[in-house]
Chain A
């Protein structure tokens, strides 16, 4: 999928929310869905199990209107976090223009975060994508939990963010940091336009 379609005068950004299961990826999309005026959003597709776990993936299309002559659309995806959905994650990851790694801030889930991050890099590697060239931001979710249960953003940066990309503390359930994260990754993606970067 091309980031910019000059013939159709469209800019389409595919942003994938990645992270371990229950880290809050779907919550991010649900919050965004709730804040976007109806005319600007499409139907949110969410295939969930009876226990509200993402079974396949979530998909939220956003229409930002015509900007400088280009119809600008965002497609937000989440991947199922559970390790046994590896092939689905790979599928969703294909063609991503930007990534949000949603980490669970709880101290007990550090290993899950690291495992998911390794899984992400493995999948990118398999797809021939240079992770250093792909716009990525971190979101440290659940920062609203008691301090003794979670790691601080600094600690999480130390544990996960070894490339020192942008990171955002968040409480996706209530919306804190959700749009900041989306804005952060979107700007990284869009700034690659003028550089003529090839889509992933």
Chain B
């Protein structure tokens, strides 16, 4: 294990275009170890400052949190220690030691090439540190993919963090490095000497510092160095590397002649070059910081990267402000869109500041798809239900749901044959919940499927979902009609989970007992059965009498008890059938312009009506038609045949 070199800190690191991104990323890591770019993988050719940056990261992290355990080691040391631990049978102890480390800095991981055991151990370590939210920073002289025989999983792990390179320093950075080092070493060289050395294009920082040392030594030996002499001394390097001028690149540096004999203008130019470079670098650093910041927030930063690549062809301040404005706009659009349709949260346009228009379109579509879902029918109120022994359990369950929506019975499933009042109960519960201030969606299963099909056709499924996901209660009538409709069941399943998890009420009705419900996925059925399943059977006599009394009471104020008793005693397997009987009697009495009695009802319902040819047209016709096609006897006509079962029953009787 090696201690961090005290000199290798961020403030001793010269930042230029070549290493700006890497330094900014390393600073971000030091400020929030484990929070961003984990692992951070920095690669560069030797001598470009990898180790300096690695240790600076450690110093930076410790400066913020002195209690943080930071460890630096080379890969060789890592491998050696690992092998020694294995040989001593202390593999576990070796691994435990790393559990204490908050920031692990591993240098020169290119030596992993061909070392399968070490790769496996490093993989395990990276996984362990990532899982524990601890930071790992690695350096290499080449990108991960170019390390021979490197485990694919390691490459993926590194790519999952941030892999970033350091390029060779440019002229301005070389000047800045030489000045910094000269200052640190208290070496004073004649004006123009450092610029002349920088012009040699020694792109290895270590070597560059070596040339400075050489010049310093020469000067310490009593020799007076000017630019020309310095270049002559370093002739080897000069000969090896063509200068910017000889390579045909534009140069902002003094003429060679001026370098040889630095004059006032050369000195002035050198100073101005340095000043301008620092200012341009400051811009670039701002752009780089913005890239890392917004990139870290998950936004695409292509525009800012293009700004850097294009050597700041636009005003960086303005570009960053514009980018930030776009990001804020996207945040606002996304927040509203997610409120409307949570599925839109991950939509790419909300993460791309260059796609604000697209994000606005998405939001508009979300808005378009947010018409309120169907609500319960106001004509069915719980108060209108007549309680009797047969429906008492269901009714009490419904009242409990209204009293404590989402808590007591969730879901409530009402099972019973057609016409017993399931829909009435469902809508009644819905109306009561809505009256209590909740947003209630109440819809039939077939309508639910039809809406979904329409949404698929409009490519607006997320918005369609959102309509229901915002509801405080979801009531679905005739859930058995979803049999065989897989997509509808999927959507219902997702909606079910979401609503139940957030404590919102669900109520279902089904004409088929759940165990007998074929074509509905088991995962949905088990969830339905997990709530309260209540049966709503055919109405008993008390219930029927209550229904009849209420209907007669509505008509005449005070019901005829004998008539009510007679009608309640008539065979009827549903509330709807009872209502049909009462309607027939009332219509007949209306035709006679007389008040109905038990006798007239008996005569009507039990007398032998003339058989008439069956009429096939019109679902509400009585079947009693004159040979010529006209209605022969209005009082014989049954105006309201609720269901086919009642009709068959009458026919049979």
> Which residues in A have some Cβ–Cβ distance to B below 8 Å?
4, 6-7, 9, 11, 32, 35-37, 39-40, 64-70, 72, 175, 178-179, 182-183, 186-187, 190-191, 193-194, 196
B315 and chain A: residue at smallest CB distance? A6
A-B contact pairs, 18 of them (CB 8 A): A6-B315, A32-B265, A37-B265, A40-B265, A64-B272, A65-B250, A66-B250, A67-B272, A67-B280, A68-B172, A178-B264, A179-B264, A183-B272, A187-B271, A187-B272, A191-B279, A193-B279, A194-B282
Q: Contact check: which of A36, A65, A187 meets B252 at CB < 8 Å?
A: A65
A72 touches B276 (CB 8 A): yes
Indicate if B281 sits at the interface (CB-CB under 8 A): yes
A39 and chain B: residue at smallest CB distance? B255
B273 touches A64 (CB 8 A): yes
B279 touches A7 (CB 8 A): no
**Alpha-carbon distance A65/B271, docked complex (angstroms):** 13
Selected interface stretch from B306-314, B371-379, B508-516, B600-608:
B306-314
Chain A residues with CB under 8 A of B316: 6
B271 touches A35 (CB 8 A): no
Shortest beta-carbon distance from B258 to chain A in Å: 7
Chain A residues with CB under 8 A of B267: 179
Within 8 A of A (CB), among B146-193: 172
Within 8 A of A (CB), among B307-335: 311-317
**Alpha-carbon distance A11/B162, docked complex (angstroms):** 35
Within 8 A of A (CB), among B255-282: 255, 258, 263-265, 267-269, 271-273, 275-282
Q: Contact check: which of A37, A64, A182, A194 meets B279 at CB < 8 Å?
A: A194
A186 touches B252 (CB 8 A): no
Shortest beta-carbon distance from A4 to chain B in Å: 7
A67 touches B315 (CB 8 A): no
Chain A residues with CB under 8 A of B17: 68
B263 touches A67 (CB 8 A): no
**Alpha-carbon distance A32/B268, docked complex (angstroms):** 11
Chain A residues with CB under 8 A of B255: 37, 39
Chain A residues with CB under 8 A of B252: 64-68, 72
Known: A6-B313, A66-B250. A35 touches B272 (CB 8 A): no
A64 touches B269 (CB 8 A): yes
Chain A residues with CB under 8 A of B233: none
A190 touches B276 (CB 8 A): yes
**Alpha-carbon distance A34/B251, docked complex (angstroms):** 22
Chain B residues with CB under 8 A of A36: 265
**Alpha-carbon distance A39/B252, docked complex (angstroms):** 12
Shortest beta-carbon distance from B544 to chain A in Å: 85
A68 touches B313 (CB 8 A): no
Shortest beta-carbon distance from A59 to chain B in Å: 18
A11 touches B264 (CB 8 A): no
Chain A residues with CB under 8 A of B253: 65
Shortest beta-carbon distance from B304 to chain A in Å: 14
Shortest beta-carbon distance from B571 to chain A in Å: 91
A35 and chain B: residue at smallest CB distance? B265
B268 touches A68 (CB 8 A): no
Chain A residues with CB under 8 A of B566: none
B265 touches A68 (CB 8 A): no
A188 and chain B: residue at smallest CB distance? B275
**Alpha-carbon distance A6/B276, docked complex (angstroms):** 14
| Given A32-B265, A179-B268, 13 new contacts (CB under 8 A) | A4-B315, A40-B265, A64-B273, A67-B252, A68-B17, A70-B280, A72-B252, A72-B276, A186-B272, A186-B275, A187-B275, A193-B283, A194-B278
Chain B residues with CB under 8 A of A179: 264-265, 267-268
Shortest beta-carbon distance from B354 to chain A in Å: 19
B313 touches A190 (CB 8 A): no
A9 touches B272 (CB 8 A): no
**Alpha-carbon distance A186/B283, docked complex (angstroms):** 19
Q: Contact check: which of B258, B263, B264, B275 meets A190 at CB < 8 Å?
A: B275
**Alpha-carbon distance A69/B283, docked complex (angstroms):** 13
Within 8 A of A (CB), among B430-483: none
Chain B residues with CB under 8 A of A72: 252, 272, 276
Query: What 7 pairs between A and B have smallest CB-CB spacing?
Result: A194-B282, A68-B280, A65-B252, A193-B279, A69-B311, A67-B276, A67-B252
**Alpha-carbon distance A10/B493, docked complex (angstroms):** 63
A190 touches B279 (CB 8 A): yes
A191 touches B275 (CB 8 A): yes
A175 and chain B: residue at smallest CB distance? B264
Chain A residues with CB under 8 A of B311: 9, 69
**Alpha-carbon distance A27/B278, docked complex (angstroms):** 31
Shortest beta-carbon distance from A53 to chain B in Å: 27
Chain A residues with CB under 8 A of B250: 65-66
Known: A35-B264, A40-B265. A68 touches B314 (CB 8 A): no
A183 touches B314 (CB 8 A): no
Q: Contact check: which of A32, A35, A68, A175 meets B276 at CB < 8 Å?
A: A68
B307 and chain A: residue at smallest CB distance? A6
A6 touches B279 (CB 8 A): no
Chain B residues with CB under 8 A of A191: 275, 279
Shortest beta-carbon distance from A14 to chain B in Å: 15
**Alpha-carbon distance A35/B17, docked complex (angstroms):** 32
B312 touches A6 (CB 8 A): yes
Shortest beta-carbon distance from A182 to chain B in Å: 6
**Alpha-carbon distance A191/B272, docked complex (angstroms):** 10
B268 touches A69 (CB 8 A): no
Shortest beta-carbon distance from A188 to chain B in Å: 10
Shortest beta-carbon distance from A93 to chain B in Å: 23
Shortest beta-carbon distance from A42 to chain B in Å: 14
